[in-house]
Amino acid sequence: MKIVHLFVVVLILMSCKNGTKSTLPASVDNVAAANSLIYPEESHFKSLRQVTFGGDNAEAYWSFDDQQLVFQSNNKAWNVSCDQMFLMQADASFKTQMPPMISTGKGRTTCAYFLPDNKHIIYASSHLVDDNCPEVPLRKNGKYIWPVYDSFDIFVADLQGNIVQQLTNEKGYDAEPTVSPKGDKIVFTSTRSGDLELYTMNIDGSDVQQITDELGYDGGAFFSPDGSKIIFRSSRPKTPEAIKAYKDLLAEGLVEPTEMELYICNADGSELRQLTDLGNANWSPFFHPSGEKILFSSNFEAERGFPFNLYLIDIDGKNLERVTHGETFDAFPVFSNDGKKLAFSSNRNNGGGRDTNLFIAEWQD
């Protein structure tokens, strides 16, 4: 699960309610000068453009032709009170205009991703159970938590917001779907086994295969550029006390995402290995266009939970490099399919408030 405003509230990140579907066209607004958004040490950014200007905006994913992005937002100025899905052209920004909403406006949604035809998306939604947003617990017994809603299922929709297919109908949580760059498979997280495991399926929902089976929350998975590998983050309890705490929370539909490491495996789940051992929360990984590095968000250098910054690491766990140098929150990095641009979410340039906005950088190695 990939929540935005919860992370911001406690400086960790995720996001809900009924909305009115927009018919307003996307517009390009004047934004701050590109270089003013880049910190001096951020040498991988040739330029940087702010895309959104309010609310919590995250998980911007590129269409296969890199012409559009779909993202989630709870911007109250857009008539939503929890995460819904919005569409944008790759060169657009939204300072005064509202982008078109392409989810139903009902329930809570998360994790949209384009299908290869560039005309449909998949995303998870709770609208079948309730038109209203489910409650969002923030803490339990003093600990920061994420809700894992049993009401989430995965749907296919067109770019006008019409749901054309339901891909999952198992009891429990089915969410966090992403699509292989090969266009043949979807990886997602489900509780259908009783634990939070990763599964793959064909893009039509057939041939569901479980690919992880160790106790813990496996989620936020992405395929490598050639579709041969999967990177994901996991919180895997080891001690009897940690295992009991994890199981007790999961029985209530909750998880505690404060200790997560990155894991990598083949697309069928074979050759699974832990990639990072940094401590704290290491998450939102995405493959570098070369397929040889991972870009991810982490607070492992933080003493009090923040800041979160972006880091690069080789797929053999070597050559860790810090990419962003903010004092608050940078996460959800996603490369365009041509490898030239990077979309990510950040608290930078928000006037010291809690807004998390989308940014698009020209990437240079």
Q: List, for residues 112-140, the tens digit of each pLDDT value.
A: 999 999 999 999 999 999 999 998 888 87
User: What integer pLDDT is reported at residue 336 of this predicted model?
Assistant: 98
Q: Residues near 271 by Cβ (< 8 Å), separated by ≥ 6?
A: 265
**pLDDT level of residue 297 (50, 70, 90 thresholds):** very high
Residue 283: which of 142, 189, 186, 155 has the closest Cα? 189
Q: Over pLDDT 70: what percentage of the chain?
A: 90
Check whether the bond before 307 is cis (ω within 30° of 0): yes
Tell me the residue range of the domain where 195 lies: 5-363
Higher pLDDT, 306 or 192: 192
Q: Over pLDDT 90: what percentage of the chain?
A: 84
**pLDDT level of residue 71 (50, 70, 90 thresholds):** very high
User: What integer pLDDT is reported at residue 136 of this predicted model?
Assistant: 84
- CA–CA separation, 289 and 292 (whole Å): 8
The count of structural domains within the chain is 1
**pLDDT level of residue 240 (50, 70, 90 thresholds):** very high
Write down the mean pLDDT value for the chain: 90
User: What integer pLDDT is reported at residue 185 of this predicted model?
Assistant: 98
User: What integer pLDDT is reported at residue 139 of this predicted model?
Assistant: 80
E strands, 253-337, are 254-255, 261-266, 273-274, 282-287, 293-298, 309-314, 321-322, 330-335
Run of H or E including 61: strand 57-62
Are 145 and 248 contacting, i.e. CB atoms less than 8 angstroms apart? no
CB atoms within 10 A of CB 104: 21
Q: Is the pLDDT of residue 165 over 60?
A: yes
pLDDT, mean of residues 162-178 = 97
Q: Is the pLDDT of residue 32 over 60?
A: no
Q: Highest mean pLDDT: which of 102-106, 301-305, 351-355?
A: 102-106
Are 145 and 211 contacting, i.e. CB atoms less than 8 angstroms apart? no
Secondary structure (3-state) at 303: coil
DSSP 226-254: TSSEEEEEEE---SHHHHHHHHHHHHTTE
Name the residue with tokens 């392409």. Answer: 102
Structure tokens at 16: 């809900």
User: What integer pLDDT is reported at residue 9 of this predicted model?
Assistant: 41
Structure tokens at 153: 């299922």
CATH number reported for the structural domain that contains residue 241 in this entry: 2.120.10.30
